[in-house]
């Protein structure tokens, strides 16, 4: 009799223990394990990246001032040139002919002027002796002045012809790099040609143009002191440039100017950073990425992989002390997405949230929380 009651008593005790735990043993055993992190505050430098376009300090279109055929091309595309270096020669024989014509006109004007002077010298004594009227002397003097003016005009025509001839040799107006050369030897060109002969880019220093939306710009400006935007720009830290191949450009840049207008079409404000370019590695028209460091004090940083979106809301799963998850809406700093988000609302230090596998979770679901360490946040990139 006693041997029959003992197993029943043990079974009753096991059921009592299971009920006292508040959760069936089967449910405890089936709860899946998820990595969980504890939210903490950090002082961190966050890097924000923005697409940029590179332009040289000067981009000078080289256009002919006279009409003619391209006779010689002295440089090649991509060549580095110095100020005053010859680039093109234009064949324009009409201007050489103008020099000859103007030179002949000068000789003719000089001869006519000499004749007028002789007439004045001959008339003056006759007027003095009363042989002829003073009117004759005045007429001779006026004729001399007219011949002097004709000579001056002929000399001006010669100077103009020589200037036009000088335009047939086109030189570089600045140090720089030669761009595309669309017209080859023998091409007919003029000052009204659709394309320039080439473009000389002064790239000893380059400008990187990029844009913020209005909120991003105001958030960033609030980080720095100054009464005016010029004062705030001077407080901006040095910026980095990521080239198209993903490598970091070795020279640091400085924020210089911003547009005076916010685009009504895009809602963005344009900014410019300048970079020294001693090795001419950066070229006009190149694409790059501006990286701006932002120092945050006591910021709540969470991995971006711990978030998900519902109807344009950023959400996370917070884990309570009993291992149940709760879907929680958060607000993050409006900066480009990256490895981490800066939380401005919805979480507090000490909260626990699931960092991976959020796609398989549901609100109120029981999990086994596996506390994990996150990557060092001091060098986090957003």
Query: What CATH number has the domain bearing residue 182?
Result: 2.40.50.100
Enter the tokens of residue 264.
């009504």
Do 184 and 207 fall into the same domain?
Answer: no
Do 249 and 134 fall into the same domain?
Answer: no
Do 122 and 186 fall into the same domain?
Answer: no
Q: How much is the pLDDT for 22?
A: 46
Is position 310 within any domain?
Answer: no
Q: Which of 266, 294, 322 lies at the terminal end of a domain, its last residue?
A: 294
Do 189 and 216 fall into the same domain?
Answer: no
Q: How much is the pLDDT for 263?
A: 67
Do 69 and 188 fall into the same domain?
Answer: yes
Do 134 and 240 fall into the same domain?
Answer: no
Is position 209 within any domain?
Answer: yes
Query: What CATH number has the domain bearing residue 220?
Result: 2.40.30.170
Q: Using the predicted structure, report yes or no on whether residue 79 has a pLDDT greater than 60.
A: yes
Least confident of 61-70, 328-337, 371-380: 371-380
Size of the chain in residues? 382
Query: What CATH number has the domain bearing residue 146?
Result: 1.10.287.470
Residue 234 contacts residue 225 (beta carbons within 8 Å): no
Do 231 and 286 fall into the same domain?
Answer: yes
What is the spatial distance between Cα 204 and Cα 57, in angstroms, rounded to a whole number? Answer: 7
Closest CA to 105 of 171, 182, 160: 160
Domain limits at 158? 94-166
Strand runs labelled E in the chain:
33-38, 41-62, 68-73, 80-81, 86-91, 169-171, 176-178, 188-189, 198-213, 240-242, 254-258, 268-276, 287-303, 308-310, 313-319, 325-332, 340-345, 352-354, 368-371
What is the spatial distance between Cα 30 and Cα 23, in angstroms, rounded to a whole number? Answer: 11
Is position 341 within any domain?
Answer: no
Is position 231 within any domain?
Answer: yes
Provide the domain count of the chain. Answer: 3
Mean pLDDT of 186-213: 91
Q: Using the predicted structure, report yes or no on whether residue 54 has a pLDDT greater than 80.
A: yes
Mean pLDDT of 189-209: 92
Q: How much is the pLDDT for 327?
A: 94
What is the spatial distance between Cα 274 and Cα 47, in angstroms, rounded to a whole number? Answer: 18
pLDDT one-digit tens code per residue, 239-290? 999 999 999 999 999 988 777 667 667 778 888 999 999 888 998 889 999 9
Do 218 and 251 fall into the same domain?
Answer: yes
Do 155 and 210 fall into the same domain?
Answer: no
Q: How much is the pLDDT for 336?
A: 52
pLDDT one-digit tens code per residue, 297-338? 888 888 888 999 998 899 999 999 889 999 999 998 766 546
Do 218 and 130 fall into the same domain?
Answer: no
Q: How much is the pLDDT for 233?
A: 78
């Amino acid at each position: 009799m006693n041997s029959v009651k003992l197993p029943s008593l043990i079974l009753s005790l096991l059921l009592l223990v299971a009920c006292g735990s508040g959760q069936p043993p089967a449910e405890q055993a089936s709860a899946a394990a998820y990595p969980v992190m504890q939210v903490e505050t950090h002082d961190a430098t966050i890097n924000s990246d923005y697409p940029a376009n590179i332009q040289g300090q000067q981009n000078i279109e080289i256009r002919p001032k006279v009409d003619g055929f391209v006779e010689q091309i002295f440089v090649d595309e991509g060549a580095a040139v110095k100020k005053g270096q010859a680039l093109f020669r234009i064949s324009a024989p009409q201007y050489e002919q103008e020099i000859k014509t103007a030179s002949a006109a000068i000789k003719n004007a000089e001869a006519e002027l000499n004749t007028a002077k002789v007439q004045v010298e001959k008339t003056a004594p006759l007027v003095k002796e009363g042989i002829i009227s003073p009117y004759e002397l005045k007429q001779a003097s006026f004729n001399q002045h007219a011949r002097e003016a004709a000579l001056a005009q002929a000399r001006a025509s010669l100077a103009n012809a020589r200037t036009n001839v000088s335009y047939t040799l086109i030189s570089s107006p600045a140090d720089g790099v030669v761009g595309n050369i669309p017209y080859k030897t023998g091409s007919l060109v003029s000052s009204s040609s659709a394309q320039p002969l080439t473009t000389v880019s002064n790239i000893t220093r380059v400008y990187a143009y990029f844009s913020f939306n209005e909120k991003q710009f105001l958030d960033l400006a609030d980080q720095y002191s100054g009464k005016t935007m010029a004062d705030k720009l001077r407080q901006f830290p040095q910026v980095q440039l990521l080239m198209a191949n993903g490598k970091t450009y070795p020279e640091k840049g400085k924020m210089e100017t911003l547009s005076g207008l916010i685009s009504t079409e895009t809602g963005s404000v344009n900014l410019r950073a300048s970079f020294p370019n001693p090795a001419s590695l950066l070229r006009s028209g190149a694409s790059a990425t501006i990286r701006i460091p932002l120092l945050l004090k006591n910021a709540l940083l969470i991995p971006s992989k711990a978030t998900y979106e519902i109807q344009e809301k950023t959400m996370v799963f917070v884990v309570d002390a009993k291992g149940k998850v709760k879907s929680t809406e958060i607000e993050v700093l409006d900066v480009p997405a990256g490895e981490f988000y800066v939380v401005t609302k919805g979480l507090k230090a000490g909260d626990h949230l699931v960092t991976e596998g959020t796609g398989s979770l549901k609100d109120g679901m029981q999990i086994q929380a596996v506390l994990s360490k996150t990557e060092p946040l001091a060098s986090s990139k957003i």
